Amino acid sequence: MAEVSFQQPTTTDRMVFHLSGTEGTWVRDKVVTEWPLTLYLNGEEFVTLVASPDHLDELVTGFLASEGVIQSLDQIRQISFDPETGDARAELAVDTAGLKDKLFARRYITSCCGKGRAAIYFDNDYRTAKAVASDLTVTPGEAQDLIAKLQESSDVFRATGGVHNACFATPEEGIWVARSDIGRHNALDKLYGWSMIHGRDVTQAVVAFSGRVSSEILLKVSKMQIPIVLSKSAPTELALAMAEDLGITVVGFIRGDRLNVYTHVQRVVLA
């Protein structure tokens, strides 16, 4: 794949009227940049992603892998970006004719955990979601430490409070790589793209994440074969049903010295 470097400013300065009690003053503040990126596959418009405009080569790569469009990095011949139009063009060594309709038009309804709970998958999710088998463990202290370090790692979050953060990490090595984005799905796709571009095995890492663990987030984690997802926020019931079915440990509401372990509790061990 041709090497790609594409970065645009992720924040911009803006004058805002700041009130504190009854006192008000004009101050210069930073706000996040929102970038509509239209993705073309082999010349055909595929989708528009609204994202933070950094690490866009990783975003496109991870998105294509997560959606089941590609199975390996060598199926990407080239990615190019046009900052004037907001377009990304990916030349792929796969047949993409009619792919958009095939991937997103049909849903499968299956049961989770043999308990009659319906899980709705698009065709690409049905084909690419995988059960995770891993004996990786974390302690409560390690989980809390990784979430704290994740929040500290994001300059954009500290400046604006307007992005989601995600990282690959291990209890022994700490954070491998962290990514931020206005879209929580995009932050995970950037991580997925990073792992593919750099050839890193992440199956014995955890994902630490700032946002809500929805079913879509859980599916992305399963496609990367990550055994543990840590979040300072809440999960949804459908995400937990999928996590039970797919063998993923979900730890949420990691705040201070508290946390909740929702699924596959054997991976969280008391020190």
The side-by-side arrangement of strands in the sheet containing 164-170 is 174-181, 164-170, 206-209, 228-231, 249-255, 258-261
Report the alpha-carbon angle 204-223-248, nearest 5. 60
* pLDDT tens digit at each of 271 positions of the chain: 444 446 788 888 999 999 999 899 999 989 888 889 999 999 999 999 999 999 999 999 999 999 989 999 999 999 999 888 889 999 999 988 877 777 665 544 443 444 434 454 555 665 677 889 999 999 999 999 999 999 888 777 677 677 889 999 999 999 999 999 998 899 999 999 999 999 999 999 999 999 999 999 999 999 999 999 999 999 999 999 999 999 999 999 999 899 999 999 999 998 6
Q: Which helix (H) or strand (E) holds 251?
A: strand 249-255
For residue 28, how far is the Cα from the chain centroid? 31
pLDDT of residue 118: 43
Taking the whole predicted model, whether its pTM rises above 0.85 is answered as yes
pLDDT at 116: 39
Q: Catalytic amino acids? A: 113
Q: Which pLDDT does position 32 carry in this prediction?
A: 86
Give the C-alpha distances (Å, rounded to integers) separating 103 from 98, 107, 108, 216, 220: 9, 9, 11, 15, 15
Superfamily of domain 129-267: Cytidine Deaminase, domain 2 (3.40.140.10)
If 0-12 CB within 10 Å is exposed, 13-18 middle and 19+ buried, where does residue 162 land?
A: middle
Domain assignments of the chain as residue spans, ordered by start: 129-267
C-alpha span between 208 and 191 (Å, rounded): 11
DSSP reduced 3-state for 77 = strand
What pLDDT score does 114 carry? 40
